[in-house]
Structure 1
Amino acid sequence: MPPAAAGIAAELTGFRREMLRFAVLQLRDQASAEDAVQEAMLAALQGADRFGERAKLRTWVFSILKNKIVDIIRRRIREPSYQEPEEEIDESDFDPLFTANGHWQRDARPADWGDPEKCFENQRFWAVFDSCLNHLPAATARVFMMREMLGLETGEICEELSMSSNNCWVILHRARMGLRLCLDQKWFANGDRAC
């Protein structure tokens, strides 16, 4: 093992559970998730001398994992297999938040989010965000993470999950609304807006 790898091996082991949870959510297959995590950890150890601490180790390792997950998803798209289609989503769940002409109801308006750039750098914010993401339905969180965190195109998501593009957009909308409502309650409304 290269000397640089020895220095990060223990830290990598500490990230493993979180990496596996992330991979299982995306891939919905324990074996594929294990493979992705192992490949990401191996790539991190082999590339430890290139790490250079320009980013946090966790960020660097998760970016490797994201790339491994994207590779697996794209490989699945090229090698189709049968999957049960996901249920269509009922749009009416969010109707009470809006008036007939599509504007926010007075009591459902989003809270002032302050400076989003500063929130992005705040560790406590990300812990709350992660909690909110984990409280979304698994399929909704998965679509959101595929789009926003893995950077997959909508067409790739639809192909991987065997869903229509309209359904994908509805799920993304629901994910964003769910995250907004959760963040309003757990972060912005509590005065934790230290951003």
Structure 2
Amino acid sequence: MITKTETLNPHKWVEAYADYMYTYANARINDEEQAKDLVQETFLAALEKVNSFEGKSSERTWLTAILRNKIIDIYRKKSSRLLNADVEKAEDEQADFFDPEDGHWMPERAPREFGIDNHDLVVSKEFNSILQKCMQKLPALWMSVFTMKHMDDQTTDIICAELKLTAANFWVIIHRTKLNLRACLQKNWI
């Protein structure tokens, strides 16, 4: 039987997992310094919880779960600071996308083809860079919801519970986020 001390090796965590965890955190919060801090906080929290490790997952999975919880805490803090005025302003800016009579796209706002069939790595890096810049322009709550849904593949129920949202609020936020990202990508990518 393998004991907890044989499965965890804190002395090798930084070497084995720091780069992966930094990339994971930075992709979700888009702040290099905060990502570094979160990785350090994760290692400290893991050291405090070594005795609670049950060995049901790998070290990396366990550390990533701790990091994910820390990222969700960041999302909560950012979303709690989000003012209703910011949401209302963003909603007003999006009001001209649809015809109020029939709910269809306004002709000048209708989606256009991105033309990203090419799998060129340079093009992908450029696209990802522009996508990250567009995501930075989103209100904090919107970015959190989008990241949890489309990067972390979290269910709607989990996202709503973690960020204290109703299902209706979630769907409105995700819809408006996609509209904003689409508009930003069309402006900066096409």
Same-fold status (TM-score > 0.5): yes
Q: 1:20 to 1:136 in 2, by over 3 A?
A: same
Q: Distance in 2 between matches of 1:11 and 1:73?
A: 17
Q: Distance in 2 between matches of 1:165 and 1:126?
A: 29
**In the alignment, is residue 142 of structure 1 matched against residue 144 of structure 2?**
yes
Q: CA offsets per residue over residues 53-112 of structure 1, 9 Å max, x none?
A: xxxxxxxx9x998654446689x8xxxxxx959666444442211113112112112222
1:112 aligned residue:
113
| Two-structure CA RMSD over aligned residues (Å) | 4.4
1:169 aligned residue:
171
2:56 aligned residue:
none
Contact in 2 for aligned 1:132/1:179 (Cα 8 Å): yes
Q: Unaligned 5+ residue runs, structure 1?
A: 41-60, 77-82, 189-195
How far does residue 38 in structure 1 lie from its aligned partner after superposition? Answer: 7.2
Q: 1:162 to 1:15 in 2, by over 3 A?
A: closer
Q: Distance in 1 between matches of 2:186 and 2:132?
A: 14
How many residues align structurally?
A: 152
Q: Distance in 1 between matches of 2:145 and 2:166?
A: 12
Q: 1:22 to 1:115 in 2, by over 3 A?
A: closer
How far does residue 184 in structure 1 lie from its aligned partner after superposition? Answer: 0.2
Q: What TM-score do you get using the length of structure 1 for normalisation?
A: 0.57
Match of 1:35 among 27, 41, 65: 41
Q: Distance in 1 between matches of 2:43 and 2:95?
A: 40
Q: Unaligned 5+ residue runs, structure 2?
A: 1-11, 47-59, 74-78
Q: Distance in 2 between matches of 1:139 and 1:113?
A: 26
Return the letter of the residue paired with 1:163.
L
Equivalent position SS for 1:171: helix
Determine which structure has more spread, i.e. the larger CA radius of gyration.
Answer: 2
Return the letter of the residue paired with 2:183.
L
Q: Distance in 2 between matches of 1:169 and 1:33?
A: 31
Q: Distance in 1 between matches of 2:175 and 2:151?
A: 15
How far does residue 35 in structure 1 lie from its aligned partner after superposition? Answer: 3.0
**Identity, % of aligned pairs?**
24
Q: What TM-score do you get using the length of structure 2 for normalisation?
A: 0.59
Return the letter of the residue paired with 2:119.
K
Q: CA offsets per residue over residues 100-132 of structure 1, 9 Å max, x none?
A: 311211211222211457389711111111111
Contact in 2 for aligned 1:86/1:163 (Cα 8 Å): no
Return the letter of the residue paired with 1:127.
S
